[in-house]
Amino acid sequence: MLKFIIKKLLQMIPMLLVISLLVFIGLELTGIDPLSYMVSPDMAGSAENLERLREQMGLNDPLFTRYFRWVSEMLRGDFGYSIVSGTPISQIIAVRIPATIELALLALVFSTIIGVGIGIVSAIKQNGIIDYVGRVFAVVGQSIPQFFFGIILIQIFAVSMGWFPVGQRISPGGNWSRIQHLVLPVTTLTLSMCAVLMRYARNTMLDVMNSDYIKTARSKGIPEWKVIIKHGFRNAMRPVLVIICFRLPMLIGGSVVIESVFSWPGIGTIIASSVIAGDMPVIMVTTLMVAASILVASFLVDVFTALLDPRVRLGD
């Protein structure tokens, strides 16, 4: 298993290099002067000073020389400066990423527990009340956009009832205030994710429970609960696990709309404001972060799949 994990980690290195190269070339094609995001605004002076800085920093070097220098600076945590605010991009990410990760992880945990739980129960109790309600909710949840859920929750629970605040991450009131700010955005993300996981969990569980080896296990007199948990649930979770793992990077990079709706101070809000302002260095760094998170999610899918099915390791 250790050999399998090391092999998968080593395979990520060339992928990250290719992605970073594409990001760097994209940044070059924008036509933005690299000095505008590599040097703080107060260091820029006359044209002669800028040209001297350009020569000292090697900006007249060939493309690949500059690329490898950029990669080494990224590895040291030097992401450059925002064109709009002049703030170091590393500082922007350090301030914003905890809010996005907090929102994404909570939504992922709640949606996984609720969605997979209801999906499994719906498959076991097929055509029951829970199954009918779950199928209706799955269709509605996948049909209605996330931002519409968010607007409805804001209108009902924030505007009409005044139960929860909207905007920012925390206000005076300590930890309880922090929880209040989290409720509506987490609920919005959880509802839409629940619908997807519920549907996948139910369908895969139904396929597994109708398999020949399940019928064989039952014919041997194995208790039904053991058949469901040991033989059914474990095999049904493999395709569902793929959805769960790939949802995390999608939440981190795709929470632009939800964070904008709730004025949540995360990476999604920064991406939206950077696109509007044309702050390409910030856009490129955040794009690279999202791509890297997708690779990590792919790695986790491979590892969890190998843990659930040893044949994957042997076949690899």
Domain segments of the chain: what residues? 90-315
SS3 4: helix
Q: Is the pLDDT confidence value at 26 over 80?
A: no
Region of residue 222 (left: phi > 0; alpha: psi -120 to 50; beta: else): beta
Hey, what are 144's tokens? 């209605």
Q: Rounded to whole angstroms, how far apart are CA atoms 21 and 283?
A: 15
Distances in Å between the alpha carbon of 174 and those of 99, 146, 180? 16, 29, 10
Find out whether 267 and 274 touch, Cβ atoms under 8 Å: no
Pairwise pLDDT comparison (220 vs 311), residue with the higher score? 220
Helix ranges (DSSP H) in 76-164: 89-124, 129-143, 146-153
Q: Is the pLDDT confidence value at 69 over 60?
A: yes
Q: How far is CA 47 from the centre of its chain?
A: 42
Which helix (H) or strand (E) is 54 found in, with range? helix 47-56
What average pLDDT does the structure give for the chain? 78
Please report the pLDDT score of residue 316 as a whole number: 52
Distances in Å between the alpha carbon of 183 and those of 41, 48, 116, 131, 175? 40, 54, 21, 27, 13
Question: In b/e form, how buried is each residue of 233-243, taking b as 16+ CB within 10 angstroms?
Answer: bebbbbebbbb
Q: How many CA atoms lie within 13 A of 202 on its CB side?
A: 27
User: Across residues 80-102, what is the average pLDDT?
Assistant: 83
SS3 222: coil
Q: Is the pLDDT confidence value at 302 over 70?
A: yes
User: Across residues 217-223, what is the average pLDDT?
Assistant: 79
Asked: is 90-315 a CATH 1.10.3720.10 domain? The reply is yes
Q: How many CA atoms lie within 13 A of 110 on its CB side?
A: 17
User: Across residues 36-50, what is the average pLDDT?
Assistant: 61
Convert the pLDDT of each residue in 230-289 to its tens digit. Answer: 777 777 777 777 777 777 766 766 567 788 888 888 888 888 788 777 777 788 788 888
User: Across residues 18-43, what is the average pLDDT?
Assistant: 70
Pairwise pLDDT comparison (246 vs 127), residue with the higher score? 127
Please report the pLDDT score of residue 174 as a whole number: 61
Q: Rounded to whole angstroms, how far apart are CA atoms 111 and 117?
A: 9
Please report the pLDDT score of residue 41 as a whole number: 56
Q: How many CA atoms lie within 13 A of 93 on its CB side?
A: 22
Q: Is the pLDDT confidence value at 46 over 70?
A: no
Q: Is the pLDDT confidence value at 8 over 80?
A: no
Q: Is the pLDDT confidence value at 313 over 60?
A: no
Radius of gyration over every alpha carbon of the chain, rounded to an integer in angstroms: 24
Q: How many CA atoms lie within 13 A of 289 on its CB side?
A: 25
For a pLDDT cut of 90, what percent of the chain falls above it? Answer: 0
Please report the pLDDT score of residue 293 as a whole number: 80
For a pLDDT cut of 70, what percent of the chain falls above it? Answer: 84
Find the range with the poorest average confidence among 15-19, 76-80, 169-173, 278-282.
169-173
Please report the pLDDT score of residue 42 as a whole number: 58
Q: Which of 106, 53, 32, 83 is nearest to 277 (CA)?
A: 83
Q: Which of 291, 262, 267 is nearest to 99 (CA)?
A: 267
Q: What is the DSSP string of 31-46?
A: T--THHHHS-GGG--S
Find the range with the poorest average confidence among 3-7, 56-60, 87-91, 145-149.
56-60
